[in-house]
Amino acid sequence: MCLAIPGKLLSREEETGIVDLGGISQSISLIFTPEVKIGDWVIIHTGFALNIITESDARKTIELLQEVYGKE
């Protein structure tokens, strides 16, 4: 249950951001990644961005997660 999944930050208002999670928009807290900018990729856990990652790492992770957890 400690899994964090990548999403792309679409917009932000102070400490709240909207991310794109595979086509679904989700509101998240940016309290732990105050430096994040619109267009950045973050890894998200229970509605909180935990760190900023590169787009290529994000895409690799999404693919892997779909494989490991997707077809349950």
Partner 1 sequence: MAKSDLVRIKYLIEDLWQWKKPVRIMEVCGSHTMVIGKYGIRSLLPPSIELISGPGCPVCVTPASFIDALLTLKNVTIATFGDLIRVPGINGTLEQARAAGLDVRIVYSPLEALKIASTRETVFAGIGFETTIPGIAHTLLEAQRLKLHNFSVLPAFKTIPPALKALLSTDNIAIDGFILPGHVSVITGSAAYQFLVDDFHTGGVIAGFEPITLLQTIKDIISQLKRGIPMIENAYKEVVSIQGNIPAQNIIRKVLQPEDAYWRGLGKIPASGLGIKEEFAQFNAIRKYDLQITETEMPSGCRCGDVLKGFIKPPQCPLFATTCHPAHPLGPCMVSSEGSCAAYYKYER
Q: Which residues bind partner 1 (CB under 8 A)?
A: 1-4, 28-29, 31-34, 43, 45-48, 50-51, 53-54, 57, 60-61, 64-65, 68-69, 72
Residue 23 — left, alpha, or beta (φ > 0 → left; ψ -120 to 50 → alpha)? left
Cβ distance to partner 1 smaller for residue 10 or 70: 70
DSSP β-ladder status, 24-29 and 41-45: unpaired
Cβ distance to partner 1 smaller for residue 18 or 65: 65
- Residue 38 Cβ, how far from partner 1 at the closest point, in Å? 19
Q: Give the CA count within 13 Å in the CB-facing half-sphere of 67.
A: 6
